[in-house]
Amino acid sequence: ARLNQLYKFEEDGTFDRLPKKEVLALKKEIANLEKNLGGIKNMTQLPAAVFIVDPRKERNAVAEAKKLGIPIVAIVDTNCDPD
């Protein structure tokens, strides 16, 4: 929501009315959000499945997928619990 809002500000000319310092801060925020959320900004529904390489390292992703009922496909090594 915030990323789309900032893109809308950039398109409709709101950035032209703001001080240069604020514009730079907002562009930095856009870059940060794009880096972290760029791949999922246009998703309209939950994914059909989640693929995880290391479930021990990605515990948050596994917990969130379980909570939302999303099927998980994980690659585990001998030092990981397959549950």
Region 45-63: mean pLDDT is: 92
How is residue 39 annotated by DSSP?
A: G
Q: How far apart are CA 3 and CA 41, in angstroms?
A: 8
Written out in words, the top-level CATH class of the domain with range 2-40 is mainly alpha
The structure's pTM equals 0.65
Q: Is the dihedral of CA 55, 59, 63, 65 positive or negative?
A: negative
Domain(s) of CATH 1.10.287: residues in the chain: 2-40
Region 62-77: mean pLDDT is: 93
User: 41 falls in which pLDDT band (50, 70, 90)?
Assistant: confident
- Percent with pLDDT over 90 in the chain: 64
